[in-house]
Amino acid sequence: MTHENQIALILAQQNVLQGKQLAEITEAARKQNKTLIRYLVDQKILTENAIFEALGRHLKVPFVDLQAQKIPDDVLNILPEPIAQTQQMVAFEKNDDNTLSVAMLDPDDIQVIDFIERRLGFKVKPFICTPSALRNALNTYHQGLENTFAEISEKISPQFRVLTETTDVTKSEQNSKEEGDPRKLKKLSEDLPVIRIVNSLLDYAVFGQASDIHIEPTEKDVIIRFRVDGILQDVMTLPKSVRDGIIARIKVLAKLKLDEHRLPQDGRFKIETKKYKISFRVSVIPVYDGEKMVLRVLNESNRVLTLEEIGLQLGPAHVLENNIRRPHGMVLVTGPTGSGKTTTLYTLINLVNSPKVNISTVEDPIEYRIERVNQTQVNPRIEFTFALGLRSLLRQDPDIIMVGEIRDKETAKIATNAAMTGHLLFSTLHTNDAVGSLLRLQQMDVPAFLVASTTNVIVAQRLVRKLCKDCKEGYKPDQAMANKIKTQFDEKLILEAVQKESAKKIHSLADMTFYRAKGCDACDKDGYKGRIGIFEVLENTHSISQLILSGANTPQLFEAAKKEGMITMLQDAFIKAQRGTTSIEEIFRVTKE
């Protein structure tokens, strides 16, 4: 929506408020850390309707009072809920001339309107509405979502509901038989209501920007959960009668065995439209009440991010870029599962990608396709491991190699030898920090002299949620918060880093400003929107190499790295908290010191 000062200007131009009065109101809103619109409504100076009617007149777009509209279900559902939620819009009227009236917060967004017209085949007539009315209309979707799925599930053929009800009754008998008739399961997966449920789930996840879909059977129903910005959240509960149908349908899509219920299975499938390509990695595992399924959502249409976009500051980014331009050596990215290592690796590979080099990868699995990069996927079933793949890649005349993960001693040995013999090698490790990777390689029987001579740079990282830009507000930490920070973290280390970033003197935590968000329409009342990395970048300088050769321990290496100018992950986190990028609560959640 329009920026604060633009809103003020529009209200003055429309003679809704006078210039002097508006200046006083704007200053009062700023002091209370409120948006201009929120302040005007809270103080009862103007109603939301009056404000948005004025904005509509300025934009030459009609205003609609959604609260007064009774929206038919068939019209509301023309716009799928994921699109409506993501783009903050609601369809409220369909006309005979194929025109769809759509209420929006930003009716000036031509790109979104064009996308809706191409996707749905309607001519969109945009209207402006108030955020509160739009929020209420969007809630109608959520109220009706489970009912819609329940209605669909009622249409599933009765024999399939019987099949579902009996699959758990006599588990001891099933141990002596094949569990489930594959022909019935195949037919169930092709049942139209089942297909509609699965398609709706996938659509809902994609447009809700979920990274994972969890389908969890219980004794009485099926729980659907999405992971969004790293946090799992319940989305809906479906009746038990649809359980086998959903599992069977996704198994068919992922080419898994329908009649295998006792062993874990892994598969993959892809959905392609004119707008996007989405891959789904499927994992199925037997649990007490049936089969639990998790789908990892991989948007192959996403562009590769820059170092700045993933969260690297200018100094560490410069160190990293210098080291990935070297002709040989190892570049390692480390962190726990789900910390964004793959995204960072792909960003680095994209930076060195050019027609002048041969880049080959061995991955598990290939998450995104990269143009002009030869990507290979391991396959443990046929004993095609990282070690075997890496050994084979060395015979492919590579300049640059990416190994998805150094998991074992054999892969570590081949990787360091490759880096020593003129190749630039990128890979990941599971360690808590950058310094720990140097010792981890030695624990994998890589000699200290090889670690010292082949390692160029190590990046350690985590992902934190970003505060919503529309509703975040600054505050000074109270004594309880300051004490909690001091208890968990090194205050001196924090102040050192933040002082370099700040124009004013910072003597203690009380001098710092942190941020939090109360939640708004833009972030779906969550207070957070998107994620960003917190990093530490350890360059293997001459002094670090000498310490490795001398058998230095973790604290000695860590202190040396700080003297060499390394910004620690903790320092990077507090710098981002001071800037208002993330919150202290996120640092507590993600960083374990």
**β 265-272/231-239 pair status:** unpaired
Chain-centre distance for alpha carbon 318: 25
pLDDT at 427: 97
pLDDT at 80: 76
Name the token pair of 245. Answer: 């149908």
What are the boundaries of each domain within the chain?
1-60, 191-299, 307-463+532-567
Q: What is the 3-state secondary structure (H, E, C) of 302-368?
A: CCCCCHHHHCCCHHHHHHHHHHHCCCCEEEEEECCCCCCHHHHHHHHHHHHCCCCCCEEEEECCCCC
pLDDT at 297: 93
Q: Dihedral sign for Cα 76, 470, 509, 567, please.
A: positive
Lowest mean pLDDT among 201-205, 322-326, 500-504, 583-587: 500-504
In angstroms, the CA 122 to CA 109 distance is 16
What integer best gives the mean pLDDT of the chain? 86
pLDDT tens digits, one per residue of 172-192:
344 434 445 667 666 666 666
pLDDT at 452: 97
Chain-centre distance for alpha carbon 177: 42
76 phi and psi angles, rounded to 5 deg: -55, -45
pLDDT at 84: 82
Name the token pair of 188. Answer: 């169930």
pLDDT at 32: 75
pLDDT at 572 over 70: yes
Is 377 within 8 Å of 363 (Cβ atoms)?
A: yes
Q: What percentage of the chain's residues is helix, strand, coil (to nearest 5)?
A: 45, 20, 30
DSSP bridge partners of 227: 212, 232
pLDDT tens digits, one per residue of 1-29:
445 667 777 777 777 777 667 788 888 87
CA distances from 408 to 68, 388, 414, 429 (A): 65, 12, 10, 10
Q: Dihedral sign for Cα 541, 546, 547, 551, please.
A: positive
pLDDT at 82: 67
pLDDT at 296 over 90: yes
pLDDT at 31 over 60: yes
Residue 275: band (very low, low, confident or very high) from pLDDT cuts 50, 70, 90? low
- The CATH number fitting domain 307-463+532-567, selected from 3.40.1410.10, 3.10.580.10, 3.40.50.300, 3.40.50.2000: 3.40.50.300
CA distances from 31 to 12, 44, 364, 468 (A): 21, 18, 52, 19
Lowest mean pLDDT among 33-37, 160-164, 388-392: 160-164
Give first-to-last CA distance, the chain, whole Å: 40
Percent of the chain residues topping a pLDDT of 90: 51
Taking domain 191-299, whether its CATH number is 3.30.450.90 is answered by yes
pLDDT at 467 over 70: yes
In angstroms, the CA 556 to CA 560 distance is 6
The pTM (predicted TM-score) of the whole model is 0.71
Token pair 């929120």 is found at 38
pLDDT tens digits, one per residue of 315-359:
999 999 999 999 999 999 999 988 999 999 999 999 999 999 999
pLDDT at 398 over 80: yes
Q: What is the dihedral of CA 14, 18, 19, 20, to 10 degrees?
A: -170
Percent of the chain residues topping a pLDDT of 70: 88
| Average pLDDT of the segment spanning 444-465 | 97
pLDDT at 24: 83
pLDDT at 170 over 60: no
- The DSSP output letter for 435 is H
Is 61 within 8 Å of 127 (Cβ atoms)?
A: yes
Task: Count CA atoms closer than 13 A to 522's CA, side-chain side.
Answer: 16
pLDDT at 364: 86
Q: Dihedral sign for Cα 591, 230, 316, 460, please.
A: positive
pLDDT at 550 over 90: yes
In angstroms, the CA 381 to CA 362 distance is 16
